Amino acid sequence: MAMVADFVLEKAFGALYAGVEDLIIKNFIFKSLFNKVKSRLDDWAPLIKEMAQYTQKMDRPEKDLEALKGVMQTGQELVNECSKITRWSPFKKYKYAKKLQEWQESLQSPLDRLKLQDTMNIMEIRVVVDEMQRDMLKQQSAESSSSTRLELPPLPKLIVGLDGPLNDLKEKLLADDGVSRLVLTAPGGCGKTTLATMFCEDEEVKGIFKKNIIFITVSQKGNLELVVKRLCEYLTSVRSPVPTFQNKVHMLQWMQTFFKSSQNPLLLVLDDIWSGSESILHSFQFELSNYKILVTSRSEFPNFGSSYHLKLLDDDKAMELFYHSTSLGDKCSPDQEELSRKIVKRCNGFPLAITVVGRSLSGKPIEIWRQRESEWSKDSSILDSDPETELFLCLQSSLDALDKRLAIVKDCYLDLGSFPEDKEIRVDDLIDMWAELYDIDDDSVCFANIYELANRNLANLVDKRDSYMKMEGDDFYGERFVTQHDLLRELAIYNAKLDPVEQRQRMNIEIRGNKIPKWWREQKCHPIKARLLSITTTTDFDMEWPNLQLPEAEVFVLHFQSPSSYSLPAFVQKMDKLKVLVIDGAEELINFELLGLLPNLKRISLIRLQIGFLTHKPIQLKSLKKISFASCGAEGIDEGFFRMSDAFPNLEELYIQFGVRLVSDFFQQLNGREFVLECCNLIHLKKISIVRGTGLDHLPEEIGNLVNLEVLRLRSCLYLSKLPSSISNLKKLNFLDIYGCWSIELPKNIGELSSLRKLDMRCCDEVKELPPSVSDLHQLEEVICNREDQGSLWEPFRPTLTNLRVVVIPRTQPNWLETFSDGWSS
């Protein structure tokens, strides 16, 4: 059949070419046009010849040639008709000249040329694949059953902690309902390549895939050409020349043809894929039933396949690996055992860290062990001991992969070192920091940077929203946190310290007891250029703050490890450029009024504080735009001095998160004058968020004073039964969030919220009917609920609410006690 197709194509081309040459000589009417046609055919001639060569090697018909043969035959028919036209037929001359021109333009069309080239490419690919498959059969018949062409990285002598993950991979990839593409992800040095190698070496895996297991190490500089080259090398018994691919399309066609022609199950392992190499993975996303792909990477690729996160070693496995690395075995003295546990704790379960540190101590006297452990316990890092170690290079390479395109993401990673070890960092605080440091005015962009870090395993995103509460596109980040592995935090701090003290962009200071860093004790009050200052104290800190000059500082993060009374550093009042202040853990701040001297302070976040100190002395922060209270209490409130409208006259955002104690204490401490009533005097407010406010049973009528309010978020306020009628004054309100307000009813005059675009009424069980005025919410675009009957309540109003979209998110049965527990204990 291939010989017939080849003969027909060559015959059609030859007849067309001869007819054009003949008309050029005999018919002067179309001579100029046919000269152009001949030039195009001359270009095609070599391609037709190459196609014929490949077609002769094929053992099957080539349907792809039908369109090309049709073009040839159409041209031949047109040539025959033109040969009959004489100079005395002007109308026919014009008619056929136009047809000839159109056909000639079709010859010049890139699409026709591409079709021809693709047809040739496919035939070339099939020939190459056929030849490779014949080589494979010959090679397999010559090899013994125990031999293999698979080249795998060597396995370490001792492997700990990977038996469970190995079984997990087998379950995910080998089960009947298993996935076809899986991304094995973890930070560098966690054993991803070792686990992938174990998977390939597993007898059950080899029994399924036989010899069709291909392991390719890609690494940072890898590309599709490299992967295809490795494929070709694995497919042939010798290192034969790799086929020449004319373009990427040709290469992709070759790959798909190969995989589709494989008769047996095939396993492809792509090891060490770096972020930014997504195009390689996209090339393998064609659907086939008989092949699996396992990818190892420090990043996740959710658009490619499912992710499996490799966990770090637990204490027992970590100790086992450390003893092996130090060659101690069972020959461990009590002193060495105690030191070993302290040292292993510093390694935080990283297999590579444990191995590197263990090897460095192997054969060393006990005094060296004590010296190392002592250094690491004094605000030092394993990385500081030898910055050229294998461990440092491995971790640093993940950071180096954040190129210029991701410069802000790299900066965001380095900023995480400003928070204490094992700290859950509030996403809202990071957004506040990055909005000012990097001039980002969109919260979602800041959150995208967090997602990028989590995707690259440089941080962990902890979502404490209950499963029934989660929703894509939710712009509320109050119950989401970021954590960071200790070694990755140390890497961030290490990079921040590379510059001289005066030149650092980030100044991270940890004060243990009353011991301040040597450079601080010895510095002569030279200005420091840091834009971000972080100070963390331990529980026994009780000293006077030494002086610092930070004229460029825009963010100050201050952590106290015990709930005692503290004072702010006196040097704060000279930080004229300060925009963001985060304070965590103090029971009382004695001199909070110092902040009134700062002309640019825009955002304050108070975490786990008793905020009664706000009312002890008059204070006015004219530049403040946002204040957040997280897990705060209100003990010591003094009613006499506290007027929020005086303290924060230009406030635009108020966040009370996990504010059970805060709201309820304000009710008790202010003799029944609600805290929320104070908020109603802040006429510049644009956004209010009160979350888990169990002490809030109603809103005051004065809330109607907030004529600039755009967002009102009242999440999980269990006993809030109604909204006041004065809410109709909020003509700029575009988002009303009453999620989790069980007892609430919609106000009868809700229709007067003329700008309302979004309403979240999930878990509002008492909303069983809608007031007729909702028909006036002409701007309403989205209503979110989690019951079908509540969704159906909106159906009668659809004729007037033409832009409305009702989203029903069914909820699973939540643990209400846990959901609405007092956030103060956290």
Out of 106-120, 343-357, 582-596, 666-680, give the one with best mean pLDDT: 582-596
Nearest to residue 705, comparing CAs of 657, 761, 762, 644? 644
Q: What mean pLDDT comes out for the span 202-229?
A: 82
Please report the pLDDT score of residue 780 as a whole number: 96
* C-alpha dist (Å) from residue 396 to 185, 349, 350, 354, 653: 17, 18, 14, 17, 39
What confidence tier does 814 reach under pLDDT thresholds 50, 70, 90? very low
Chain segment 474-511, per-residue pLDDT in tens:
678 888 999 887 778 888 888 888 888 899 999 999 88
Nearest to 30 by CA among 91, 109, 87: 87
Are 554 and 531 in contact, with CB atoms under 8 Å apart?
yes
Q: Lowest-confidence range among 99-103, 211-215, 620-624, 722-726? A: 99-103
The arithmetic mean of pLDDT across residues 575-588, rounded, is 92
- Tell me the three state secondary structure of residue 611: helix
Bigger pLDDT: 447 vs 23: 447
Among 473-487, 696-710, 765-779, the minimum mean pLDDT is found in 473-487
Question: What interhelical angle do 192-201 and 163-174 show, nearest 10?
Answer: 60
What is the reported pLDDT for 382? 65
In the predicted model, what is the mean pLDDT of residues 794-799?
Answer: 93
pLDDT for res 378 = 66
Lowest mean pLDDT segment, chosen from 467-481, 554-568, 580-594: 467-481
User: How would you list the strands of the sheet with 213-217, edge to edge?
Assistant: 213-217, 266-273, 291-297, 181-185, 306-309
* Residue 238, pLDDT score: 40
Residue 182 backbone class (left: φ over 0; alpha: ψ -120 to 50; beta: rest)? beta
Predicted local distance difference test score (pLDDT) of residue 815:
42
Burial class (CB in 10 A: 0-12, 13-18, 19+), 825: exposed
Query: From CA 483, how far away is CA 309, in angstroms rounded?
Result: 16
Q: Per mean pLDDT, which range of 125-139, 254-268, 694-708 is the poorest? A: 125-139
Q: Is the pLDDT of residue 585 over 70?
A: yes
Mean pLDDT within 126-132: 53
Q: With 90 as the cut, is the pLDDT of residue 389 above it?
A: no
pLDDT at res. 388: 41
Q: Give the C-alpha separation, 776 to 362, whole Å.
A: 78
Q: How confident is the model at residue 667 (pLDDT cuts 50, 70, 90)?
A: very low
pLDDT single digits (tens) 707-728: 999 999 998 888 888 899 999 9
**812: DSSP letter:** P
The first and second tokens of residue 95, run together, are 């008619």
Length of the chain as a residue count: 826
Higher pLDDT, 822 or 494: 494
What's the confidence (pLDDT) of residue 716? 85
Average of pLDDT values for 644-659?
Answer: 86
Rounded Cα gap, residues 353 and 322, in angstroms:
9
Cα(424)–Cα(419) distance, rounded to whole angstroms?
Answer: 9
pLDDT confidence of 146, banded at 50, 70, 90? very low
Phi, psi of 486 (to 5 degrees): -60, -40
Comparing 200 with 135, which gets the higher pLDDT?
A: 200
Average pLDDT over residues 152-167: 88
| Average confidence score pLDDT of the chain | 78
Instruction: Write out pLDDT tens, residues 330-341.
Output: 667 777 888 888
Q: What is the mean pLDDT of residues 234-241?
A: 52
pLDDT score recorded for residue 328: 78
What's the mean pLDDT in 763-768?
90
Q: Is the per-residue pLDDT at 270 higher than 70?
A: yes
Residue 50: the pLDDT is 59
Instruction: Measure Cα distances from 73 to 4, 14, 78, 591, 714 in Å.
Output: 16, 11, 9, 93, 74
Long-range contacts of 134-141 (CB under 8 A, 24+ apart): 135/235, 135/236, 135/237, 136/235, 136/236, 136/237, 138/237, 139/236, 139/237, 140/211
Q: How many whole angstroms separate alpha carbon 807 and alpha carbon 791?
A: 8
How far apart (Å, rounded) are the C-alpha atoms in residues 454 and 409?
11
Least-confidence region, from 147-161, 268-282, 482-496, 740-754: 147-161
128-142, 603-617, 761-775 — which is least confidently predicted? 128-142
Q: Give me the percent of the chain exceeding a pLDDT of 90.
A: 29
C-alpha distance across the termini of the chain, in Å: 76
Q: Which residues pair with 293 in a beta bridge?
A: 181, 268
pLDDT, greater one: 478 or 1: 478
Which whole-number Å values give the CA distances from 246 to 66, 122, 249, 254, in the listed order? 23, 12, 8, 11
User: Of 171-180, 472-481, 765-774, 783-792, which gets the smallest average pLDDT?
Assistant: 472-481
Between the ranges 68-72, 738-742, 780-784, where is the mean pLDDT highest?
780-784
Which one is predicted more confidently, 13 or 94?
A: 13
Res. 782: pLDDT tops 70: yes
Instruction: Give yes or no for residue 786 having a pLDDT over 90.
Output: no
pLDDT-derived band at 173 (thresholds 50, 70, 90) equals very high
Contacts of 492-500 with C-beta under 8 Å, sequence gap 24+, read 492/413, 492/414, 492/415, 492/416, 492/417, 493/381, 493/417, 494/381, 494/383, 494/384, 494/387, 494/392, 495/399, 495/414, 496/414, 496/417
Per-residue confidence at 671, pLDDT binned at 50, 70, 90?
very low
**pLDDT at position 422, please?**
72
pLDDT digits (tens, 9 = 90+) for 510-526: 887 888 888 887 766 68
pLDDT band at 310 (very low <50, low <70, confident <90, very high): very high
Q: Which amino acid is at 7?
A: F
Rounded CA-CA distance 492/495 in Å is 5
- Indicate whether 32 pLDDT > 80: no
- Lowest mean pLDDT of 68-82, 138-152, 160-174, 721-735, name the range: 138-152
Tens digit of pLDDT for each residue in 430-474? Answer: 999 999 999 998 899 999 999 888 877 788 888 887 665 666 656
Q: Is 651 a residue whose pLDDT tops 90?
A: yes
235 or 489: which leads in pLDDT:
489
pLDDT of residue 558: 95
DSSP per position, 681-748: T-TT--EEEEES-TT-----GGGGG-TT--EEEEET-TT--B--GGGGG-TT--EEE-TT-TT-B--T
Q: What is the pLDDT of residues 58-76, one digit of tens each?
A: 444 454 456 566 667 777 7
Count of C-beta atoms within a 10 Å radius of residue 516: 17
Which DSSP symbol is given to 634? -
Confidence tier at 143 by pLDDT (50, 70, 90): very low
Percent of the chain with pLDDT over 70: 72
What secondary structure does DSSP assign to 291-334, as a single string? Answer: EEEEEEESS--TTTSEEEEPPPP-HHHHHHHHHHHTT-TT---H
Q: How far is CA 496 from CA 431, 534, 583, in A?
A: 20, 12, 21
